[in-house]
Amino acid sequence: MEERIRRGDFNALLTRPIHPYVTDMGLILGDKTVSGLALIPTTILLAVAFRPEFHLVPWALAAVIPAMVLAFLLRFTALYLTALAAFWTTRIAPVFELWFLIEFFLSGRVAPLAVLPAWGQQLASALPFRWMFSFPLELLLGRLNPTQTVQGFLMQMLWLAAVGLLMRVIWRSAVRQYGAVGG
């Protein structure tokens, strides 16, 4: 986002009938598809080497796909919203570094959220990061009951709606800011 603003690439993007969010999502989905296909042989090799034990719960397995779709949409939209700060600053990288640091600990990526102190677990549950990573993984592993699963989906949808609404409001202001500086 930062480079596109600095180079003036948004001029062309803003004249298109499709929002740049949609274009960027298409690029990310294409990249994730290719990288995901490349991970299949690696996953198979790791499964053969380490022989993991899975105790999959059929209903939870069926719920993983929509949980992952919502998690992707939530993370992409939240990151896009964060990137909009580039319309007001010259360097957005430090903002993303802070984002990824917080996400790393409060999403369950570095360690299961259960190892966090109680206040950390509460913070992780209140912020969107858990719903982007830990929730789909816990669901896949069959660690959630149906009530927890419904609550997880509700949290994903709540955060997605909040972030989407905020992005919509800030986008309008960002485009005005971009036009005001002669973009």
pLDDT digit string (tens) for 7-58? 888 888 888 899 999 999 999 999 999 999 989 999 899 989 998 887 789 9
Mean per-residue pLDDT of the chain: 92
d(CA 138, CA 160): 19
Digit-coded pLDDT (tens) for 134-158: 999 999 989 999 999 999 999 999 9
DSSP state at residue 21: H
Question: 0.85 exceeded by the pTM?
Answer: yes
Report yes or no: 170 and 81 within 8 Å, Cβ to Cβ. Answer: yes
Residue 52 three-state SS: coil
**Between 102 and 7, residue with greater pLDDT:** 102
Residue 179 is predicted with a pLDDT of 66
Expressed in angstroms, the distance from the first to the final Cα of the chain is 14
Average pLDDT over residues 84-103: 92
Number of H helices, E strands in the chain: 9, 0
